Amino acid sequence: MDAQERGGGAVLKWFEDLRREDVPEVGGKNASLGEMVARLGGEGIRVPPGFATTAAAYRSYIAGNGLEAVLADQLGQLAEGRRTLAEAGRHIRDAVAAGAWPEEIESAIRAAYRALGDRVGEAEPAVAVRSSATAEDLPDASFAGQQETFLNIRGEAALLAACRRCYASLFTDRAITYRRLKGFDDLGVALSIGVQLMVRADEGGSGVMFSLDTESGFDRLVLINAAWGLGENVVQGAVSPDEYQVYKPFLDDQTRVPILHKALGAKAIKMIYGAGDGAPTRNVPTSKAERESFVLSEGEILELSRMAVKIELHYGQPMDMEWARDGLGGPLYIVQARPETVQSRSESHAFRSYRLGETGAALLKGLSVGSAVATGEVCQIESAADIGRFRDGAVLVTSTTDPDWVPIMKRAAAIVTDHGGRTSHAAIISRELGVPAIVGTGQATHLLHDGQAITVSCAGGDEGVIYAGEADFEVEETRLDEIPPTRTKVMLNMANPAAATRWWRLPADGVGLARMEFVISNEVKVHPLALTRYDSLPEGPDREAIDRLTRGYADRTEYFVETLARGLSRIAATWHPNPAIIRMSDFKTNEYAGLLGGAAFEPHEENPMIGFRGASRYYSDAYRDGFALECRAIRRLRETIGFRNAVVMIPFCRTVGEADRVLEVMAENGLRRGEDGLEVYVMCEIPSNVIEAEAFAERFDGFSIGSNDLTQLTLGVDRDSEALADLFSERDPAVLWMIETVIAKARKAGRKIGLCGQAPSNHPDFARLLVRAGIDSISVTPDSFLAVKRHVAEAEDEG
């Protein structure tokens, strides 16, 4: 292809002639596209072809139309307060959009567009026309969404018009505000235009992908958002997309399927090509089948994730990418890639944790952005035309957070939206500004009203909650470089998969207690017997809810197994390869009855605390097929997803004979102790576990002392009784004797032994006692980790 076809030299370049160091010439977006075409095409990274105008072309356009004086005058008046942002921006945009093309640039764009058509065998191919500022995608500024993108542009005249609008969009109100926020000179920034062949995502799907977890910075995850149709709806937060999380370290192993999380988004609309002479694109409602289906297959999720890893490896830093799938039988494409600019630059040696005090009623839930808590009065804004009435320090509530609203986003205490996912433009900017946000609530604009006092909490992990009233909260900063090393392992108690990655920077020695029953109640929500014995389930609201949750599953039990396995995988992944000790379900009968469909299968007990719970359920005909589903989930976690660091633990095992029966049932369900490295522990929470510790040690690989139940059953004190609260103490001599005795017996038998409970964090002397007794590990809640680690270090220093 000769120089004319390649676009006339300095004013235009094809993607394959660009490299990442060409940011000053074509901006970060176009430089990155060129880098991927040239350097990663051979590694399976597919990028639609295209070309880019240069900064020189922009400056030639500005000079050729005598626009320097207009820019300087309007921006000067803005700086002096003689013009509002809206007035100055509108005047500049109108002047830029009305300009005429210098002949050299117009000829180059027309020639390149025709050459692109020759490449793909189409006279007037549909193209995306994207803006790429020469200061964008720098390490500390994403510039996401600050300039315009125009989709499904066909024909030379339409292309030239879209290019003029791209130039004008360098001076949108949001772009001017963002540059000032980041310290860039308006007149020092130029704009490159990327013209890229459209992927027929209008017939397929598209979305956004990050090579780390956008909320916690956990760098071993790929996060993917997906929606039907063209990708602008996901970027702008106009839809609530599907969300997928994939564990990067297992992607090279083709025998594993390391998808940790799949969440179905509402996806109420999709963007498609416009019809006739109307707008190039339009939004239409999605079908019921589309709303109830995942956009990506598991194979496509893994393929995209492998692309993300290759791109990240090439660039040497976490990346923010946009992808599209050709719905006419074509493959997956990467259409943009830029450095991730928030989590990758956060302080890794310290993090803040927020703890809520007493709150009002929970009003709404959605996807959390950030981990902070904020309070304030609601300021509901329906349209960008109304942003002038926003009050500093208020909570911005809107249907979707539009990029035009950056000027008020930075002044908000928090942001709440009806629609959008964690990779929407609004979420990206909220993170960059350090403003907590909850997106995708579905009905914030209907339930909240102006002036209403609320608390926005992103402190609970993936799920954000909005509470009535302004709650009190505490902020604690933990410096990781101040945490002392210890010989005794300090591990974490985890129950909520959504919150696990929030704590990934803590130097924990693994998970000492993962509570399966919490994952079942929060994520699965269905009683296992309501699935294995579905035909006996009575008609009613529970059955209807179960039908909704299990839609798309030919076998309803597969819903339980998949959801439970993936929930547990998010806990096992966070500190892999350190062990994750997963306690099989330990609901009491009244708690099991609270699950969907559970009331039909649970007996009424006067004292469920010491009733039909733990090991006794697993081999009983009354629950045996439910336990089989739990075992299937553990096998899925270890064998299919790949987390062989998962250790199984049996709770409330009263006798040695009961231990034998449980181990036998586990083996029947494919979980045989010792096979494929499987370790099985037992909870030590009943006096019989201490008395017969030697016999239990022959059957299990380790013990975990449950100090609450052990105290309750040693002293005969109901741990929930207010009247007996003064008698309940883990430091009672009888309880301490139990703990010291079982530690000694476990060590003599060569078995590992730990303790999971809050006592070591509440009482430094208790931690010292455990260390002196020779305990192997102590497991506590994440917010207690630092205190316990210090107590243990002090005890070890004392000898």
Q: Residue 524 has what DSSP assignment?
A: I
Residues assigned a catalytic role: 425, 756
Under a CB-based contact definition with an 8 Å cutoff, are residues 387 and 406 in contact? no
State how far the Cα of 795 lies from the Cα of 711, in Å rounded to an integer.
23
Report the distance separating Cα 667 and Cα 172, nearest Å.
Answer: 65
CA 34, distance to chain mean position in Å, is 29
Provide the residue type at 360 as one letter.
Answer: G
CA distances 618 to 519, 588, 629, 720, 785, Å, are 18, 13, 11, 25, 33
- Give yes or no for a contact between 291 and 229, defined as CB atoms under 8 angstroms apart: no
Contacts of 546 (CB under 8 A, 6+ apart): 526, 530, 531, 534, 537, 556, 596, 597
State how far the alpha carbon of 217 is from the alpha carbons of 208, 340, 423, 505, in Å.
16, 10, 13, 9
Distances (CA, A) of 665 to 123, 613, 628, 671, 673: 68, 16, 8, 9, 11
Q: Quickly list DSSP for 531-600.
A: HHTGGGSPSSHHHHHHHHHTTT-SSHHHHHHHHHHHHHHHHHHHTTTS-EEEEPP---HHHHTTSBTGGG
Residue environment code for 118-151, b if the CB has 16+ CB neighbours within 10 A, otherwise e: eeeeeeebbbbbbbbbbbbbeeebbbbbbbbbbb
Return phi, psi of residue 492, to 5°. -120, 145
Distance CA 80, CA 789 (A): 56
Two structure tokens written together for 321: 């990418």
Report residue 24 as tokens: 């000053």
Q: How far apart are CA 480 and CA 162, in angstroms?
A: 50
Distance (Å, rounded) from C-alpha 757 to C-alpha 777? 11
Q: Which residue type, as a one-letter code, is found at position 463?
A: E
**What SS3 string covers 215-266?**
CCCCCCEEEEEEEEECCHHHHHCCCCCEEEEEEHHHCCCCCCCCEEEEECCC
- Residue 535 and residue 587: Cα distance in Å, rounded? 24
H-run or E-run covering 512: strand 511-515
What distance in Å separates the CA atoms of residue 577 and residue 581, rounded to the nearest whole number? 12
Do 792 and 488 touch, CB atoms closer than 8 A? yes
Please give the span between the terminal C-alpha atoms of the chain, in angstroms, as a whole number.
Answer: 77
In angstroms, the CA 577 to CA 249 distance is: 11
Give, as one character, the DSSP assignment of residue 19: -
Cα 170 from chain centroid? 31
Alpha-carbon gap, residue 359 to 356, rounded angstroms: 7
Cβ atoms of 228 and 269 closer than 8 Å: no
- Rounded CA separation 796/767 (Å): 10
One-letter amino acid at 251 equals: L
174: exposed, middle or buried (Cβ count in 10 Å: 0-12, 13-18, 19+): buried
Q: Which structure tokens are listed for 289?
A: 């089948």
